[in-house]
């Protein structure tokens, strides 16, 4: 694949996810420096290259946050500021010219009034300021990664992306790609929109779903099952309060394997000593031959923000390809990496992602795919946003 | 599907597997008595009906064993004799007319001489006796289920099946269906042969393979992994000695997911207090984004012989269908239920089984399958044994 | 030990605990019937005999509840009424003459007014009614076992016990024995009071504390640790709401082993499929030689209400002995079976219980203990309530 | 406590244990350099100071091994040579003047002849050579730490220690301190002997014993229990072969809590990917009230050789104190740190160690302990070896 320009990313929320993203990219740059840029098999990387953009071809071009301890700092320092607790995994981070800009504040607006208030009226920083910074920094993709549960903030930054013509990736369950009105505006504006809600690189939901499916495939009957998750980062503290929405979302993530014999506890507790680690306990009791029980007891331990960054790295590259290819609206093909993909994007296989990326790359370079005479079926791959 | 005659099964080795088979069938008869013969969703049953033969349509017509505490007993008592330790799961077993007959003994023959000695010279009971009993009892399928590691005994009973024209199901890793010479004789004689080595209904291998595959699918790299199994029945005591062959077999069961980063310990120990339960510990440590570790720790607890009987019930019905359809030689289609299927039988999907059974049923009844005009491709389904 | 009269118990709240108590006693009666009344080593029984009262020498003499589906039913039926979900563990419960009486209702009284309202003004049933029933049924011990978090109800039934002269056992954390004013009234009235808050027969707290202590004893340093509990009965649903008080109580239960490196989540989630089972996950990471980590990962699975009944059976017998011995006020010696024993009752060893019971038995029978000349030190054993 | 001279240790077998010992001491020197020599609470250290000897006051004065890849190397390099796989935990090891000397070889002598052959006849290196090196290097304590199962080698080095007048610490189960004849010779010669068989700093045995004891203390009955251990270092490979002796030793380590309901599998498998880590699975199923089960499932993960070094550091200091105090024969007081202490040394409490060390220190300095007028009872503390 032809090399392409590095992707320029603006980040909203300089939390653990951005620390993991920035440090991880540095880890892989160091590996490439040691083993050559064409190194295959970078550990923990799903796709070294997507349409000519390698995992190391991403740059943070802008950053927004509201925390006093982060705003104004160089990004490479801000990612280590409290309450961030993702561990330091590289000794030296290459300096980057980006400082953290003040983002919009929405805390003071009561929830029940928020819908009535114009989206930027109560922002410290107006939409114009954010848009200007995105344009000045030639940002291609805006990565929205604030704590769950700020639908106003989500809509504010969606508006910014629309006005600046910058692709948006929504890491949170606050609905953007799954909100028909918002999705329509991105389609109309020709701006790509990727979301909603990151699936984990390797998370409790996919482990739970896989085991329930395995039991069913083998012909045993699930008698009772549960999943409970523990964590110690800010996101987890937040979940304790907003558990019900997340519970629904996680039940959805189980798909057909869900039932009233299956209980999901998205956050079983805020456990500070876990730091940025996340622990998931999964239990499955099935009835086998003669009704005799078979049980599976699982503990999953992951670095929560690595689990996010390992997915973000693919989504931002997909979003950049879509923008470069001139394809707007909800981008299809990423359902394997999202908890709530846009309506109609139902293929959760990794292949669907690869096919969508290949088609976007083809459009950018103008080269037909091998053995492909016409663009038949491309709408199915890329969604309804194609002109 | 039209109902068919019950399948008449001869069993070699009246161990826990037979106890689980007999008691489990009784459990399901009781459920049918309560809820009707057409009851769907019998718990722990993969296929209620295979080609018209329901899970309750099997009868034990003959039984062979060498243990003094079992020979001569009614089968319904022998299944509870020591060292059997599968629990009693039904209060009343319908009486059956079968008594346990003395089987052939091979213990005294040194392994290195065994190949030279005519197969029946050192048997307490000659081949003629066994063949006569199989014919007298109108047995259709001989289920070979002795402890692993008696290749002589396996060949002896294969010879009996061949002479009596009775289909053979080999539960053990001692090679029959995977031995080309033996397979050729079954093909030539037009006698069906199903084997080798039962996969578990839900076992450590399939759980381990599934998790390794999941990790790979998500784009993480397996760094180190192990699987260790514990049990307390006679089969497990036996494994301690013959661990190496089993280790290879279990590594094979991991398929593409195996590597030198993955260790398998087929028997980590004979643990008498487990009785007929089996415990498998599976550990997977993978590298995620930035090289950060993600770990999966699993404990699988199963009733070992239920795990076998849940598979046996499908294999004996498949073997009976093949015999009734007049199809001899290694039967293809059961790879999802076997650790070592015959060469060329590579499709491990449950669908392959269902297709093979449907084709056999079609031959028996002479009815074309819906939408099927010709028998194109049937050789691929049923193996090379078709005339 | 001389046999004594069976203990007559009134129960407040006919929940799972009472189901476990009633059925368990029946299990042991059946064992005694089979193996003789002097049978030793009844499985799951800490003390077969306490001061001449065997585990089977308890009778339910009265029962109070407010649930429509329980009131009016024979006790032996009420223990199986929803939402009770303790399993049926004996086929036949000996019929007992007790029916469930309506208890006092407090639900409608706002918490902030409750202290002002006379304790019986808003009860369906006045104190007089309860007292009369306790007297009529010659009840010796009132077992208070309502859901946590009804301090009013606790005080109401304490008042009943005081007026009827019946010993009180408080299973809940609502403070009675640890409330100085209430304790003083029991002491003044010469009525025994046992509480507060049952320790589990084998619970997460004692397992966690034991492991933390072990690590410290071996000279390793606890680096981080957590405990999280899951359950599916009504008590657990209740805990989700009142978690903070319970968190404190559970931290107290860790004693010296608690620290800010240790997190306790009393209820990590209400998991209906667990029914009356309770699951506790305990994690301990310690630093060993050279600072290298050592980890302990524990899963504890118990039948929640058996865990309560196994402790209740000893507390009610201790309370009855105190009453028969004429000893009033907070009874000392039971700290090993309580989460919050009365002030000054600090010896958590099982021996302390045995010594206290022996001393009470001696008072009843008037027999000096072997080798005991005088009653020196009895105040230390039995608390300040001795005349 | 007055500071004393550093202890000079000769090591037999430069395996993972020595790597852990050497690196760990360096870790603590670094901490002392940073925080002061009087630093308290070094992480992972049971006793910072024993009788005036701090954990950092040990020096390796001599080292013996037979492996070609280690002999002749500086000790600080040899500890990292294969098959050693203890991780590198400090960047810089202070250089030490010691090189690894060739040890005695016993591999070629058949076990059944070994007893007849003079102990040094088949050694590459005679006793004289070893004794001379011990004397030249002013070694005080010889630490015997070869793989389990070389009784000849154990006796050879015991002979060297006796002749050189150097205290011996036996890390292995090969009997020295528990062999009456050998013990008598050390007593007669006035040379201290500490052993046999290291307990782990935190190992499966003590965790298992603690949980079985907890269950019994709470009044539940252990119904079935097992312990299985996995590891990936050379010692573990060795155990697979010699499992039976170790099984007995580990059952002994369970003390009163052992029974036929408890199964111990010392090595459930050699799992190379574990490296120097050790994993222990412990399962306890107990019967609680009404016979309902309560289960504890535990996974213990430790760095195997840190687990040894954390105990060695106390034993070598105790041995040196005994030698400096002029006390010979089996040293009592270390039963908490040994699997097989000498006969009569039954107090497994940590206090016993502290008392013994204090008494030895008192003898060295001549200072009476506070409040101690006479040495009454010292024989009980220090064993029968006192003149």
pLDDT single digits (tens) B106-163? 755 445 444 444 444 445 668 889 999 999 999 999 999 988 778 888 999 999 999 9
Average pLDDT, integer, range A272-279: 93
**pLDDT: is B193 or B380 the higher one?**
B193
Sign of torsion over alpha carbons B226, B227, B230, B236: negative
Nearest to B290 among A89, A296, A298 (CB): A89
pLDDT of residue D381: 43
For chain D, what percent of residues have pLDDT higher than 90?
A: 66
- Please give the structure tokens belonging to residue C386: 């001795």
pLDDT tens digit string along D1-56?
A: 556 789 999 999 999 999 999 999 999 999 999 888 776 778 999 999 999 999 99
In this structure, are residues B104 and B66 in contact, taking their beta carbons and an 8 Å threshold? yes
pLDDT of residue C3: 64
Average pLDDT, integer, range A312-331: 97
Whether residue C19 is contained in a domain is answered as yes
Q: Pick from D302, D322, D350: which residue ends a domain?
A: D302
Helix axis angle, B151-164 to B180-189, nearest 10°: 10
Are residues C314 and C262 part of one domain?
no
pLDDT of residue B376: 36
Q: Pick from A274, A302, A330: which residue ends a domain?
A: A302
User: Which residues have CB under 8 Å from C123's CB, separation 6+?
Assistant: C104, C105, C106, C156
B39 pLDDT band, cuts 50/70/90, is low
Find residues 280-299 of chain B whose CB sits inside 8 Å of chain A: 286-299
**pLDDT: is C54 or B267 the higher one?**
C54
Q: In the structure, how many helices (H) and strands (E) does chain B have?
A: 12, 13
A351: pLDDT strictly greater than 50: yes
**pLDDT: is D212 or A247 the higher one?**
D212
Listed range (A181-185, A186-190, A364-368, B190-194) with the worst mean pLDDT: A364-368
Cα distances (Å, whole numbers) of residue A111 to A108, A149, A177, A180, C265 = 9, 11, 22, 22, 30
Nearest to B44 among A201, A287, A299 (CB): A287
Average pLDDT, integer, range A347-358: 93
Nearest to C306 among D47, D289, D301 (CB): D289
* Mutation for testing the A interface, residue in C263, C264, C276 having most A CBs under 10 Å: C263
B28: nearest CA in chain A? A290
Say whether C271 sits in a helix, a strand or coil.
coil
Rounded to the nearest integer, the mean pLDDT of chain B is 86
**How many residue pairs bridge chain C and chain D with CB atoms within 8 Å of each other?**
185
Within 10 Å of residue D52's Cβ, how many Cβ atoms? 17
D317: pLDDT strictly greater than 90: yes
Are residues D312 and D289 part of one domain?
no
- As a residue count, chain A comes to 387
Q: Do C271 and A261 touch (CB under 8 A)?
A: no
B20: pLDDT strictly greater than 60: yes
DSSP assignment of A22-81 equals: HHHHHHHHHHHHHH-TT----TT-S-SEETTEETT-EEEEEEEE--TTTTTSBHHHHTTS
A149: pLDDT strictly greater than 80: no
D276 pLDDT band, cuts 50/70/90, is very high
Are residues D47 and D23 part of one domain?
yes
d(CA C350, CA C255): 17
pLDDT of residue C15: 94
D231: nearest CA in chain B? B226
A182 pLDDT band, cuts 50/70/90, is very high
Find residues 221-260 of chain D whose CB sits inside 8 Å of chain B: 224-226, 228, 230
Domain that holds residue B181: 7-199+306-365
D278: nearest CA in chain C? C294
Are residues C345 and C282 part of one domain?
no
Whether residue C25 is contained in a domain is answered as yes
Average pLDDT, integer, range A54-66: 95
Are residues C295 and C183 part of one domain?
no
Are residues A90 and A232 part of one domain?
no
Are residues C179 and C49 part of one domain?
yes
d(CA D183, CA D180): 5
Whether residue B374 is contained in a domain is answered as no
pLDDT of residue C385: 40
pLDDT of residue C254: 76
pLDDT of residue B203: 94
A77: pLDDT strictly greater than 70: yes
D168: pLDDT strictly greater than 50: yes
Whether residue D284 is contained in a domain is answered as yes
pLDDT tens digit string along C73-112?
A: 999 999 999 889 999 999 999 887 899 999 887 755 445 4
pLDDT of residue A36: 82
Are residues B355 and B290 part of one domain?
no
Q: Do C289 and D301 touch (CB under 8 A)?
A: no
d(CA D239, CA C109): 68
D117: pLDDT strictly greater than 70: no
d(CA D7, CA D20): 17
**How many residue pairs bridge chain A and chain B with CB atoms within 8 Å of each other?**
184
In this structure, are residues D100 and D72 in contact, taking their beta carbons and an 8 Å threshold? yes
* Mutation for testing the B interface, residue in D212, D228, D246, D261 having most B CBs under 10 Å: D228
* Mutation for testing the B interface, residue in A41, A292, A298, A336 having most B CBs under 10 Å: A292
pLDDT of residue A39: 66
pLDDT of residue B106: 72
Nearest to B271 among D265, D271, D272 (CB): D265
pLDDT of residue C247: 62
Q: Pick from B302, B324, B346: which residue ends a domain?
A: B302
For chain D, what percent of residues have pLDDT higher than 70?
A: 84
**Domain CATH for C211:** 3.30.360.10
pLDDT of residue D387: 31
Average pLDDT, integer, range A19-28: 96
pLDDT tens digit string along D340-380?
A: 999 999 888 889 999 999 999 999 988 765 554 443 333 33
pLDDT of residue B145: 94
Within 10 Å of residue B346's Cβ, how many Cβ atoms? 10
Average pLDDT, integer, range C169-176: 94
pLDDT of residue A382: 47
The distance of C216 to chain D (nearest Cα, Å) reads: 9
**pLDDT: is C118 or B264 the higher one?**
B264
Is the bond into B83 cis (omega within 30 degrees of 0)? yes
pLDDT of residue B369: 56
For chain B, what percent of residues have pLDDT higher than 70?
A: 84
Average pLDDT, integer, range D167-178: 95
Are residues C323 and C177 part of one domain?
yes
pLDDT of residue B2: 57
The distance of B78 to chain D (nearest Cα, Å) reads: 26
pLDDT of residue C59: 95
B351: pLDDT strictly greater than 80: yes
A185: pLDDT strictly greater than 90: yes
pLDDT tens digit string along B203-262?
A: 999 999 999 999 999 999 999 999 999 998 777 776 555 555 566 666 667 777 778 889
Listed range (A239-253, A336-350, C155-169, D145-159) with the worst mean pLDDT: A239-253
pLDDT of residue D151: 83
pLDDT of residue C73: 94
- Phi, psi torsion values for A8, nearest 5 degrees: -105, 115
Whether residue D77 is contained in a domain is answered as yes
pLDDT of residue D51: 93
**pLDDT: is B257 or A299 the higher one?**
A299
Rounded to the nearest integer, the mean pLDDT of chain C is 86
DSSP summary character for residue C95: P
**Domain CATH for A115:** 3.40.50.720
A301: pLDDT strictly greater than 50: yes
Are residues B219 and B123 part of one domain?
no
C363: pLDDT strictly greater than 80: yes
Are residues C183 and C63 part of one domain?
yes
In this structure, are residues D377 and D338 in contact, taking their beta carbons and an 8 Å threshold? no
Q: Do A306 and B288 touch (CB under 8 A)?
A: yes
d(CA A242, CA D34): 45
DSSP summary character for residue C282: E
Rounded to the nearest integer, the mean pLDDT of chain A is 86
A240 pLDDT band, cuts 50/70/90, is low
Rank B303-317, C139-153, C234-248 by mean pLDDT and report only the highest.
B303-317
pLDDT of residue C187: 97
Listed range (A142-156, B284-298, C7-21, C203-217) with the worst mean pLDDT: A142-156
**pLDDT: is A264 or C7 the higher one?**
C7
Whether residue C297 is contained in a domain is answered as yes
Intra-chain end-to-end CA distance of chain D, in Å: 26
Half-sphere exposure for A202 (CA within 13 Å, toward CB)? 34
Are residues A287 and A214 part of one domain?
yes
In this structure, are residues C352 and C335 in contact, taking their beta carbons and an 8 Å threshold? yes
Whether residue A383 is contained in a domain is answered as no
- Chain A residue numbers with beta carbons less than 8 Å from the beta carbon of C243 are none
Q: Do A310 and B288 touch (CB under 8 A)?
A: yes
User: Which residues have CB under 8 Å from B14's CB, separation 6+?
Assistant: B63, B64, B65, B67, B70, B75, B78, B79, B81, B84, B100
pLDDT of residue C311: 97
Listed range (B39-48, B201-210, C314-323, C356-365) with the worst mean pLDDT: B39-48
D30: nearest CA in chain C? C290
3-state secondary structure chain D: CCCCCCEEEEEECCCHHHHHHHHHHHHHHHHHHHHCCCCCCCCCCCCCEECCEECCCEEEEEEEECCCCCCCCEHHHHCCCCCCCCCCCCCCCCCCCCEEEECCCCCCCCHHHHCCCCCCCCCCCCHHHHHHHHHHCCCCEEEECCCCCCHHHHHHHHHHHHHHCCEEEECCCCCCCCCHHHHHHHHHHCCEEECCCECCCCCHHHHHHHHHHHHHHCCCEEEEEEEEEEECCHHHHHHHHCHHHHHHHHHHHCHHHCCCCEEEEEEEEECHHHCCEEEEEEEEEEECHHHCEEEEEEEEEEEHHHHHHHHHHHHHHHHHHHHHHCCCEECCCCHHHECCCCCCCCCCCHHHHHHHHHHHHHHHHCCCCCCCCCCCCHHHHHCCCCC
Rounded to the nearest integer, the mean pLDDT of chain D is 86
B265 pLDDT band, cuts 50/70/90, is confident
The distance of A241 to chain C (nearest Cα, Å) reads: 12
Average pLDDT, integer, range C223-248: 74
pLDDT of residue B378: 38
Q: How open is the CA angle B80-B82-B83, to the nearest 5 degrees?
A: 115
DSSP summary character for residue C272: G
d(CA D305, CA D274): 13
In this structure, are residues D130 and D104 in contact, taking their beta carbons and an 8 Å threshold? yes
Q: Do D296 and C293 touch (CB under 8 A)?
A: no
Whether residue A377 is contained in a domain is answered as no
> How many independent structural domains does chain A possess?
2
D109: pLDDT strictly greater than 80: no
User: Which residues have CB under 8 Å from A45's CB, separation 6+?
Assistant: A28, A55, A310, A313, B219, B289
| Exposure class string for C43-81: b at 16+ Cβ within 10 A, else e | bbbbbbbbbbbbbbbbbbbbbbbbbeebbebebbebbbb
């Amino acid at each position: 694949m032809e090399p392409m320009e590095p992707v320029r990313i603006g980040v909203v929320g300089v939390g653990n996810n951005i620390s993991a993203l920035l440090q991880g990219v540095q880890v892989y740059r160091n590996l490439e420096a040691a083993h050559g840029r064409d190194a295959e098999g970078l550990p923990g990387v799903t796709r070294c290259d997507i349409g000519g953009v390698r995992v190391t071809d991403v740059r943070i071009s802008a950053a927004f946050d509201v925390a006093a301890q982060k705003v104004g700092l160089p990004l490479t320092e801000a990612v280590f500021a409290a309450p961030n607790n993702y561990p330091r995994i590289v000794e030296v981070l290459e300096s980057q010219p980006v400082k953290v800009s003040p983002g919009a504040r929405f805390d003071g607006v009561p929830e029940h009034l928020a819908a009535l208030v114009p989206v930027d009226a109560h922002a410290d920083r107006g939409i114009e300021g954010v848009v200007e910074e995105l344009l000045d920094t030639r940002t291609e993709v805006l990565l929205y990664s604030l704590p769950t549960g700020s639908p106003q903030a989500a809509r504010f930054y969606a508006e910014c992306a629309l006005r600046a013509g910058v692709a948006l990736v929504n890491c949170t369950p606050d609905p953007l790609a799954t909100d028909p009105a918002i999705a329509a505006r991105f389609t109309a504006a020709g701006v790509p929109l990727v979301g909603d809600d990151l699936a984990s690189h390797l998370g409790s939901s996919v482990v739970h779903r896989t085991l329930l499916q395995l039991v069913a495939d083998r012909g045993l009957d699930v008698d009772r099952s549960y999943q409970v998750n523990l964590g110690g980062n800010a996101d987890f503290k937040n979940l304790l309060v907003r558990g019900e929405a997340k519970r629904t979302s996680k039940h959805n993530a189980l798909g057909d394997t869900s039932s009233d014999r299956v209980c999901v506890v998205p956050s079983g507790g805020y456990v500070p000593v876990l730091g940025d680690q996340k622990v998931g306990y999964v239990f499955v009791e099935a009835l086998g031959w003669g009704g005799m029980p078979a049980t599976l007891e699982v503990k999953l331990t992951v670095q929560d923000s690595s689990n996010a960054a390992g997915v973000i790295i693919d989504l931002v590259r997909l979003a950049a390809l879509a923008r470069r290819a001139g394809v707007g609206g909800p981008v299809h093909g990423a359902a394997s990496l999202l908890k709530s993909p846009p309506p109609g994007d139902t293929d959760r296989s990794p292949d669907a992602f690869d096919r969508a990326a290949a088609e976007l790359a083809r459009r950018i370079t103008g080269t037909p795919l091998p053995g492909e005479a016409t663009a038949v079926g491309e709408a199915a791959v890329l969604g309804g946003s194609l002109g």
